[in-house]
Structure 1
Amino acid sequence: MSRSRTFSWDDPSVSAAAVGQESGLDFLNELLAGRLPAPPLAATLGFTLEEVEYGRAVFVLAPGEEHYNPIGSMHGGVYATLLDSAAGCAVQSTLPAGMGYTSIDLNVKFLRPSTVDTGKVRAVGTVLNSGRRLALAQAELFDSADRLLAHATSSCLLFPVPPQ
């Protein structure tokens, strides 16, 4: 039995041009409010930024069959994408105007599977330490009953963003 899914996205260059023009928290609040377009990957996978505050970011996703691996549960790459997004945006929320970041690494521990029956999952990212050039963040993925599904740590490189 065949299934299909259709989605659309907005021009990613709009958000990319806004990076570093204001604080990272202000940038993320613009995304959250819909005044800047979400990245195309969010539409592709169907996840959204739900909360953001200084040093913390939360993404949500309702697992669907389109997220499955061959053994019938959500693919580890989807877990990793959610965790990387939450950890990275937690770091971004702490950056002043003129600064950007990129992930250097992501270390993921998978603890429980999830399926369409799991319900909405939440990736909660928090900053553990931030310096002038590097930041360390963690992210945890929870199911709708607040059980831990996966945990990750991420190192991020901080760098100046030239003014537009």
Structure 2
Amino acid sequence: MSVRTRTYRWEEPGFPADLTGLEIMRGLLAGTIPPPPMVQTLGLDLIEVEPGRVVFGVKPAEYMYNGSGIVHGGFIASMMDTATGSALHTKLDVGIGYTSLDLSVKFLSAISERTDAIRCTGTLTHHGRRIALAEARITDGSDRLLATATSSLMILS
């Protein structure tokens, strides 16, 4: 067996305190705000941002594999949790945060290095005063649905 190495860097976590969630997400997209360490760890690229909707992309790679030689379900769940939370983040005012309450994931197809680059679209479906709901969909380059998730999120003021 050969040994592989993966190296990545991140900056100190934290967002500017004087920006709305949409401004932060647009800053992440433009590269003027550094991504959170977990986004760096996962290797995700933010590729679209609009109010209530975000898209992350990544090319499946060996470092994401579980013991069966496919992308680990925890990686997929983390990507979907990131997308659902980020979709909510685009609608939050200055100084307002959030946390996930739950995440329900349905895995529809195995993902591996042979899979095209995947896209995870997070969409806000309900934005209440304290609770929000969002969904995520992972698709491949042919727009084939690979996984779905729903999430409940608590808004922290």
TM-score, structure 1 length as denominator?
0.91
Question: Which is further off, 49-58 or 97-106?
Answer: 97-106
Structure 1 distance, partners of 2:42, 2:99, is 21
Q: Could you tell me which residue of structure 1 aligns to residue 87 of structure 2? A: 90
The structure 2 residue matched to 1:138, chosen from 135, 138, 145, is: 135
Q: Could you tell me which residue of structure 2 aligns to residue 10 of structure 1? A: 11
Q: Could you tell me which residue of structure 2 aligns to residue 115 of structure 1? A: 112
Structure 2 distance, partners of 1:131, 1:43, is 30
Matches within 5 A, 1:54-69: 54-69=51-66
Amino acid of the structure 2 residue aligned with 1:88: G
3-state SS of 1:118 partner: coil
Q: Could you tell me which residue of structure 1 aligns to residue 32 of structure 2? A: 35
Q: Which runs of 5+ in 2 are unaligned?
A: none
Amino acid of the structure 2 residue aligned with 1:71: S
Whose helix proportion is higher, 1 or 2? 1
The structure 1 residue matched to 2:46, chosen from 44, 49, 58, is: 49
Structure 2 distance, partners of 1:8, 1:22, is 24
3-state SS of 2:114 partner: helix
Please report the RMSD computed on the Cα atoms of aligned residues, expressed in angstroms.
1.1
Structure 2 distance, partners of 1:38, 1:130, is 24
3-state SS of 1:5 partner: coil
CA deviation vs aligned residue, 1:94-121 (integer Å, no higher than 9, x gap) = 1122321111110101100111110211
Q: Could you tell me which residue of structure 1 aligns to residue 126 of structure 2? A: 129
Percent identity, aligned pairs only, is 46
Question: Any runs of at least 4 consecutive aligned residues in structure 1 with deviations exceeding 6 A, and if so which?
Answer: none
Structure 2 distance, partners of 1:107, 1:88, is 13
